[in-house]
Every structure is written in C-alpha cells, then in structure tokens.
Amino acid sequence: MWPRFGDIIVIYALLTPLCVLYWHATFDVIDYYTDGNRVTSLIIGYAIVVLSLLLHETVRLVEDIFEYKCIYHFVYDYTVLTACLAYVHGLDVFYEIMKENGVPPIAIAGLMTTFLILLQSFRNVLALPVVVNNDHIVDRYRPHNTLNFFNTETGMGLS
C-alpha cells in the first residue's frame, strides 16, 4: 500500500518543524523558570506526569464542571505535554554524565538504540510526542499504554 503523499508533505514540511520549534521554545521557558537546572526540570516534569496519571479519575470529574470543555482539554493537554517536555529536557543530565565520563556520543546513541530495540519500543520513542488526533479519544485522562514490558494485564510477570 502506497503512503498518502499529502499527509507525508504536511507531516514533514509543516508539523515536524513546528513541533521542533515548539520543543526548543518550551525548553527555553523551562530553563528560564528553573534557572537552567536540568535536575529540577527532571523532577518537576516527572512529578506532574505521575500525578496526572494517579489522579486521572479526579481530573476526569473536574472536566464535568467546565461549561467549555475545549478550554479544559487545552489546559490539561498543555500542562501534561509541558511536563513531558520538562522531563525529557531534564534527562539531558544523564547524557551529560555519560559524556563527561568519556563515552562518545556515537556510543551513547548505539547503546540506547540497542536498549530500545531490545525493549521493542524504538518506534514509540521516535514518534512525535504531539499526535494529531482526528478521531474521538476514548479516555484522554488515562491513555492507552503502548509500551508493554510485562505479559500480564496487571504488569506482574516478566515476558
């Protein structure tokens, strides 16, 4: 099956550059508010993402209070996306530590690529974090997990 070239053009000529510009602008804002401290960025981003996952039912109930749900969805999506970007930006700490210990960047890339392939998650990590949704989201406050490390529904057994 041949790809739809209109979609490819829009994705690579418009959405990807806009996404990258958005990430870099967000990284600058995060650096401004955390005084460039990547560890603080890592902790704050991780904490917000974990809290949003733990409090998904509360967040869903709060949505019912709002008359204009689109505004609530925008604020929620922006907050979670910014927290994810703060976490990603904070992860530069680990890269810098490896680089300072004499590991060349090509070796870091090779090690991480091998690790991601072994976990069968390479494609998920390389996907754009901003997904253009053109269908109805079943549950925006508890997204479907695409990374499956365990063979059971409860996540108690190693595969």
pTM: 0.68
141 in any annotated domain: no
Number of Cβ within a 10 Å radius of residue 41: 25
148 in any annotated domain: no
In this predicted model, which residue has the larger pLDDT, 70 or 40? 40
CB burial readout 83-104, b (16+ within 10 A) else e: bbbbbbbbeeeeeeebeeeeee
16-36 confidence digits (pLDDT tens): 888 889 989 999 999 999 999
153 in any annotated domain: no
57-115 confidence digits (pLDDT tens): 888 888 888 888 888 888 888 888 899 889 889 989 999 999 999 999 999 999 988 98
Domain holding 102, by residue range, is 5-126
Per the structure, how many domains does the chain have?
1
113-156 confidence digits (pLDDT tens): 898 888 776 666 655 544 554 445 555 655 555 555 555 554 43
- Token pair listed for 61: 């109930």
CA neighbor of 49 nearest in space, from 91, 81, 94? 81
**CB-neighbour burial class of residue 157 (10 A; exposed 0-12, middle 13-18, buried 19+):** exposed
132 in any annotated domain: no
Greatest pairwise CA separation for the chain in angstroms: 55
Q: What CA–CA distance (Å, rounded) separates 130 from 81? A: 8
Residue type present at position 120: Q
- Token pair listed for 80: 């979670």
53 in any annotated domain: yes
138 in any annotated domain: no
Q: What CA–CA distance (Å, rounded) separates 71 from 66? A: 8
105 in any annotated domain: yes
How much is the pLDDT for 7?
A: 73
42-56 confidence digits (pLDDT tens): 999 999 988 988 888
